[in-house]
Amino acid sequence: MSSVAQKKGFGATLWDWLTTVDHKKIGILYFLGGGFFFVIGGIEAMLIRWQLHKPNNDFVSAGLYNDLITMHGTTMIFLAAMPILFGFMNAIVPLQIGARDVAFPFLNSLGFWMFFMGGLFLNISWIYGEVPDAGWTSYASLSLASQGHGIDFYAIGLQIAGGGTLMAGINFLVTIINMRAPGMTYMRMPLFTWTTFIASAMILFAFPPLTIGLFLLTFDRMFGGNFFNHEMGGNTIIWEHIFWIFGHPEVYILILPAFGIFSEIFSIFSRKRLFGYPSMVFATVLIGFLGFMVWAHHMFTVGLGPTANAIFAVATMAIAVPTGVKIFNWLLTIWGGSIKVTTPMLYALGFIPSFVMGGVTGVMQGAAPLDYQLHDSYFIVAHFHYVIVGGVVLAILAGTHLYWPKMFGTMLNETLGKIEFWFFFIGFHMTFLIQHWLGFWGMPRRVWKFMPEQGWDFANLISTIGAFLMAVGVIVLVVNVIITSVKNVRVGNDPWGDGRTLEWAIESPPIYYNFSATPLVRGLDSVWIEKMEGNASGFTPAEPVKDIHMPNGSIIPFLMTLGMFIAGFGAMFRTETEWGLGLLIFGLAFTFVSMAARSLQDDTGYYIKKEEILRDLKRKGGQK
């Protein structure tokens, strides 16, 4: 069962990727899957910007425009940003804490396939021709009125993908609680692990409301429920509450891991210990907590009353405090550091002013009276893109450069990386800075056309040009990936030369059992400590080399999700076709039989013998 003895060839490789439970490979799958949807969401964004580049443009119809904005938002949040971050978490977090694996390798694979199949389900709506069109928030008053199957694709696709996310969250929580190496106390965990931990806890409490919300929407649309139908006593505000109890924490689920990645980068490339580590941890926990307390700031204009608005306004602004702590800690990490401006560092330096601008406009909208003015204008669009692109996407691009060698064993080209950064960064500010003013000038969001005499022509043109510059940046990244993959120059354990945490102590990419022996952690930034004390390998084993227990691969996660995917179509066509109900039952039965097969077989994994590990070690000729 060792990787050395595996068969070669396309079929064998495909089977290997379909059945893998190795967290590093699943990380790559998340990364590729998320990257795929990122491109789709990006193309949707380009189409939106092209429609708005001049007044009275008739490039897309009003209906198609609704489809585009809905799918752009949904795709970018659920299918691009979160999965790519999961990719980094899977690839890096177990290595950072010195673990051999994640807690639930099987569940990890299931989580990935549910995300991917849910995403496919959602995007098949384009091929089917009936696309979700009620915005990514899918407010019930709009979504119940939406004709065709568009919203059904949204509800079922997100239900499947959301289930996968919940599994990933539980998996990371248990991994971090139970599987840390000896000496890796909570207060020695790298910041990326900490932010993953808190983001996972938020997933655990934020996704069940989404599950319920989507079920209620599905019941209303497809099974004659009345939750949101006011004629039958229902109330659409319930959807808004449920959606935002999920939706607000969701933005912190995205931004916290991004903070984690940047914390690693600042520390590595300033060649300094992260300034104020304990306060960084505390700020992360506090943001995680406050993230749940503020959902109604999305609903100021609903008419909840001044008391409720005031409470949520104050709670919202309170989040600026721990976030400010983080910003200053990053600045003080750079201060006096021996700075190396690599591509990841460039992104990190660009992130600080960009994200602060997004944060400031967030505090502005936290003031409920001002929100009445800014609500549903382009100011909002500018604000959340400054947060999500200026925070999360910059972190994803930075992380891609930083962790590429660890994930794939080869370095991305630095010159191309810097070109990519400047295109993306300038394009980003060109696109969204001007949109603040468009908001002040009264341009509402989600409208597909504007008139020439409204005075928005030039600003919109600038915004569109900026968007295309961002696209050029992404294309440079793709070119970079292709070139470096073809050249495929192998790199060593620590290609940046200044790695501080455990993942940089093992080879790139890591061998399938990660560590030949569990490492001993002697402090924060343990590899840095070892290097400073003259141990060039950066790695002290906590125990002698011994047999390693590993999980078996399995095709069952793929089959289970396939069943859900089929059942989704069955549920959608249940009433209007003869085969719909049959397909629904077949799909669910398929999933259930797969689950039963998993339960009945005793899959207790296998052992890698000590001799094989010693042989690997000898071949690498390194590690003591």
Partner 1 sequence: MDLNKKFTPETWPEHPERATLEAKNKFVGFWLFLGGETILFATLFATYIALKNSGPSGFGFSTQELYELPLVFVMTMLLLTSSLTSVFAMYHLRNYNFKKMQLWLAITALLGLAFLMLEVYEFSHYVGLGFTFNNSAFSSAFYTLVGTHGFHVAVGLVWITLLIFRNAKRGLNLYNATKYYTFSLYWHFIDVVWVFIFTVVYLMGVVG
Name the residues that contact partner 1, by CB under 8 A: 103-104, 166, 170-171, 173-174, 177-179, 204-205, 207-209, 211-213, 215-216, 219-220, 223-227, 229, 231-235, 238, 241-242, 245, 596, 599-600, 602, 604-605
Nearer to partner 1 among residue 183 and residue 455 (C-beta): 183
Cβ atoms of residues 544 and 205 within 8 Å: no
Amino acid at 43: I
User: 291 vs 391, which CB is nearer to partner 1?
Assistant: 291
Rg, Å, the chain Cα set: 25
Could you give the count of Cα atoms lying within 13 Å of 289 in the half-sphere of its Cβ?
9
d(CA 457, CA 608): 66
Alpha carbon dihedral 227, 231, 232, 237, in 10-degree steps, equals: 20
CB nearer partner 1, residue 74 or residue 108: 108
Closest contact distance (angstroms) between CB of 97 and partner 1 is 14
At its nearest, how many Å lie between partner 1 and the CB of residue 225? 4
Kindly give the pairing relationship between strand 548-550 and strand 606-608.
antiparallel
Minimum distance, C-beta of residue 177 to partner 1, in the bound complex (Å): 6
- Label residue 15 exposed, middle or buried (CB < 10 Å: 0-12, 13-18, 19+): middle
Nearest distance from residue 288's CB to partner 1, in Å?
14
Rounded Cα distance, 384 and 370, in Å = 16
In whole angstroms, how close is the CB of 552 to partner 1 at the nearest point?
A: 13
Residue number, 201 or 381, with CB nearest to partner 1: 201
Judged by beta carbon, residue 117 or residue 242, the one nearer partner 1 is 242
Distance in angstroms (rounded) separating the CA atoms of residues 155 and 217:
7
| Helices and strands counted in the chain (H then E) | 22, 2
DSSP class of 409:
S
Encode burial over 443-479: b for 16+ CB neighbours within 10 A, e otherwise: bebeebebeeeeebbebbbbbbebbbbbbebbebbee
Residue with tokens 């039958």: 232
Asked if 357 contacts 386 with a C-beta cutoff of 8 angstroms, the reply is yes
CB of 567 to partner 1, least distance (A): 16
Minimum separation from the CB atom of position 135 to partner 1 (A) = 21
Q: Under a CB-based contact definition with an 8 Å cutoff, are residues 27 and 192 in contact?
A: no
Matching residue, tokens 């201060």: 335
Minimum CB distance to partner 1, residue 214 (Å): 11
Task: Report the nearest approach of partner 1 to the CB of residue 21 (Å).
Answer: 13
Q: Which residue number, 372 or 592, has a Cβ lying nearer to partner 1? A: 592
| Shortest CB 242 distance to partner 1, Å | 6
As a whole number of angstroms, the distance between CA 227 and CA 109 comes to 35
* Nearer to partner 1 (CB atom), residue 133 or residue 220: 220
Is the Cβ–Cβ distance between 289 and 283 less than 8 Å? no
Is 429:382 a contact under the CB 8 Å cutoff?
A: no
Pick the closer one to partner 1 by CB: 179 or 387: 179
CB nearer to partner 1: give 234 or 391.
234
Closer by beta carbon to partner 1, 170 or else 529: 170
Minimum CB separation from partner 1 for residue 107, in Å?
8
DSSP state of 274: P
The CA distance from 88 to 91, in Å, is 5
Closest to partner 1 by CB, 579 or 592:
592
Residue 608 DSSP symbol:
E
